[in-house]
Amino acid sequence: MKMNIQVNEKRIYGKRNQMIYGHFIEHFHRQIYDGIYDPESPLADEDGFRTDIMEAMKRIQIPILRWPGGCFVSSYHWKDAVGDERKPFFDKAWRVEDPNTFGTDEYIKMCKKIGCEPYICTNAGTGTAEEMSDWVEYCNLENEGQYAKWRIQNGYVEPYNVKYWSIGNENYGFWEIGAKSAEEWGRLVREAAKMMKHVDPQAELSAAALSDVDWNVNLLKNCGEFLDWISIHEYWDMVPEKNDLATYEQCMAYTVRIDHAVDEMRGLLKAMKLDKKIKIAFDEWNLRSWHHPNVHTIKQGIDKKDYLDPRDKNDDNSQYTMADAIFTASFLSAMNRNCDIVGMANFAPIVNTRGCIYSYSEGIVLRSTYHVFDLYVNYLGDTIIDIWSEEFPTMKVTHKNGTEMELETIDILATKWSDKPGLALSVINKHPVESQKINLSISCEGKKVDLYGISGETPDSYNDVNKNEVTIFKEDLGDFKSNMEIEIKPHSVNIIQVI
């Protein structure tokens, strides 16, 4: 089947915020220690940061990096991790000791090296509204009060000017330390937001929500006037207890209505007349949840081989295939289409665990998902425009729950640039073995056409140490002709530039 694609560059849906290509890092397993922060490594700089990881992060122009959690933050007290006298603590979320050698000052220093905005998630579990606002004082006040003076004493004279703050993490969940009822959450967020805004009226605040009407209505009724963002999270292939990963076909099933949470939150914000004031921060997402058995359960693992050692399974690079890449691209395309209401998204995490960068003592591996961010950040436009086709090819797949589903094989997003001429289309082919042909109808006769993409030989292709099966390729397709036919490889993510 051949698709006839019509593109209308004069019909603009909106301009996406670069922050939808954001990332997240948490004190879990090897993300911070033995990850980005490894002072003993010969690859570390004078501040202890792995230079190879930072260069990879700069390549995909990370716009914003959420930290320190995640579940970790709900028993984290930031004051123990600044200054000369660091106090190690037992992290009750992940049941390990954290040395607190990586704290606020190191995080800000890392963000400056990478060139990204910091986004601090505060402790709304065992913490208090005052502790949250003290953190804003430390970061943002010039020299007033004990906490700004403490920052200066620690050698950081200029304020950090952290603009983005999240009140808590998943405090609606039983697994979260310091979980709250809807009523408790509304009151805590209101008081925390009030105090944080009193310290810095320009701070932009987010708070945790989920696809639950009662929770969200209570939160927005109590706190809507204080909030700039509403935070939502989602992992599709849930494998915390058993690392039984979805197959390629099952992962494609997850791409159906991939933006359902956005639709639900949009409807609620609109109903409460807050859609022009509050934007969505999809500030924790990934195809697959992190594997950490016998921790977020009533019955805890006793032996470390039952709850700690299994986390090493997250480091198996063979798990991160073209299925992960295509899901990631489908999510990013959906967030681009929702650019009027989604202003931020944070892939979880950036390094190790399910991250798009894997580190080992001698270097790094760029997983398939890394190259998706490279394509979207460096080759796609920032303005979303209209695209239309009379018919999309479909394929049948079986969901992990056993349900048979039909989904569109091709996902297309059309963009242009606000600062230069030309068009760029994201074209995703979800079919595992069949290529697809598209006919492009656009007013670009004579302009140069280049295709940048990733595919791999099979849907299960992956990258590992000394193994690069998924890398960006380029095809020069010549000059554009009316109704130009372009063949799209199976299991592939592609950016077609017409410049």
pLDDT (tens digit, 9 = 90+) per residue, 166-179? 999 999 999 999 99
Nearest to 56 by CA among 333, 371, 269, 450: 371
- For 73, phi then psi, to 5°, come to -70, -20
Q: Across the chain, what does the average pLDDT equal?
A: 96
Total number of residues shown for the chain: 499
The H-or-E segment that residue 190 falls in is helix 182-199
Task: Establish whether 26 is a catalytic residue.
Answer: no
- Res. 63: pLDDT tops 90: yes
Per residue in 277-297, pLDDT tens?
A: 999 999 999 999 999 999 999
Which comes out higher in pLDDT, residue 379 or 1? Answer: 379
pLDDT tier, 1 (very low <50, low <70, confident <90, very high otherwise): low
In angstroms, the CA 257 to CA 234 distance is 13
Tell me: pLDDT of 415 over 90.
yes
3-state secondary structure 25-83: CCCCCCCCECCCECCCCCCECCCCEEHHHHHHHHHCCCCEEEECCCHHHHHCCHHHHCC
Average pLDDT over residues 60-81: 98
Average pLDDT over residues 171-195: 95
Which residue in the block uniquely carries the two structure tokens 């009193």? 198
Look at the alpha carbons of 47, 53, 55, 60 in this order and tell me if their dihedral is positive or negative: negative
- Catalytic residue, chosen from 26, 106, 234, 284, is 284
Please report the pLDDT score of residue 391 as a whole number. Answer: 86
Distances (CA, A) of 138 to 47, 135, 195, 454: 21, 5, 14, 44
Q: Does the pLDDT at position 2 exceed 90? A: no
The residue-averaged pLDDT of 220-235 equals 96
Identify any residues that bridge with 495 across adjacent strands, giving them in sequence order: 426, 452
Summarize pLDDT for 472-483 with one digit per residue, the tens. Answer: 999 999 999 988
| Distance separating alpha carbons of residues 409 and 428, to the nearest angstrom | 8
Cβ neighbours for 350, distance < 8 A, ≥ 6 positions apart: 23, 24, 25, 31, 36, 57, 62, 65, 356, 357
At residue 128, the pLDDT reads 98
CATH number for the segment(s) 16-379 = 3.20.20.80
Greatest C-alpha distance within the chain: 68
Q: What is the pLDDT of residue 348?
A: 98
pLDDT of residue 286: 98
pTM of structure: 0.97
Q: Could you say which of 137, 170, 176, 204 is catalytic? A: 170
User: Is 400 in a helix, a strand, or coil?
Assistant: coil
Per-domain residue ranges for the chain?
2-11+382-498, 16-379
With beta carbons less than 8 A apart as the criterion, state whether 426 and 495 touch. Answer: yes
Position 211 scores a pLDDT of 66
Domains 2-11+382-498 and 16-379 share a fold: no
Residue 212 is predicted with a pLDDT of: 78
Q: pLDDT tens, 296-349?
A: 999 999 999 999 999 999 999 999 999 999 999 999 999 999 999 999 999 999
pLDDT of 213 strictly over 90? no
pLDDT value at residue 443:
84
Which tokens in the block code for residue 421?
A: 């001429």
**pLDDT digit string (tens) for 115-170?**
999 999 999 999 999 999 999 999 999 999 999 999 999 999 999 999 999 999 99
Residue 444, pLDDT score = 82
Coil vs helix vs strand at 151: helix
The domain 2-11+382-498 is placed in CATH, from the list 2.130.10.10, 2.120.10.30, 3.40.50.920, 2.60.40.1180, at 2.60.40.1180
CB half-sphere exposure, 388, CA atoms < 13 A: 6
Give the residue among 372, 407, 377 at the shortest CA–CA distance from 392: 407
Place of tokens 């598209």: 438
Catalytic-residue membership of 9:
no
**Dist CA 467 CA 469 (whole Å):** 6
Average pLDDT for 459-465: 98
Inter-residue contact 481 to 441 (CB < 8 Å): no
